[in-house]
Amino acid sequence: MGFFVTSANLAPAITNALRSALEVDPAHLPDPQGEAASRATNVVQQLTTQIAWPRLIVAVIIAFFLLGLAIWTATQANMADISKGLMTSFQSFSGLVVGLLGGEVATSKR
């Protein structure tokens, strides 16, 4: 399970597919390869992924807070170094969020 992308547990679907496959004698099937492909497709179709919206919204709020704070400190006297640090934090945090999203979505679509 990812942080921003969650997927359903496939264990029950795979267990049911294996159980039904073991109950059928392959000699009685007209097309064993086609039957295997059909059952595999059915299991893959049960794979659902969802974005964890509350976590993503909190991450976006944190990113905008860091950006706003960096911009505000840039307008204040004697806070230029703090502004640079906050801007770096914003960039790092945004990169982390985008990287997690991209990685999780890519691995969930296999």
**Token duo for residue 69:** 């704070």
pLDDT, tens digit, for every residue of 41-52?
Answer: 887 777 777 788
Cα-based angle 21, 22, 24 (whole degrees, multiple of 5): 70
Could you give the 3-state DSSP secondary structure of residue 1? Answer: coil
Greater confidence (1 vs 25) lies with: 25
pLDDT, tens digit, for every residue of 56-108?
Answer: 999 999 999 999 999 999 999 999 999 999 999 999 999 999 999 888 877 77
Could you give the 3-state DSSP secondary structure of residue 6? Answer: strand
Give CA–CA dist 9/43, Å, rounded: 11
How does 34-48 read in b/e, with b if 16+ C-beta sit within 10 Å? eeeeebeeeeeeeee
pTM of the model: 0.65
Where are the domains positioned within the chain?
Answer: 5-108
The pLDDT score that the predictor gives to residue 18 is 81
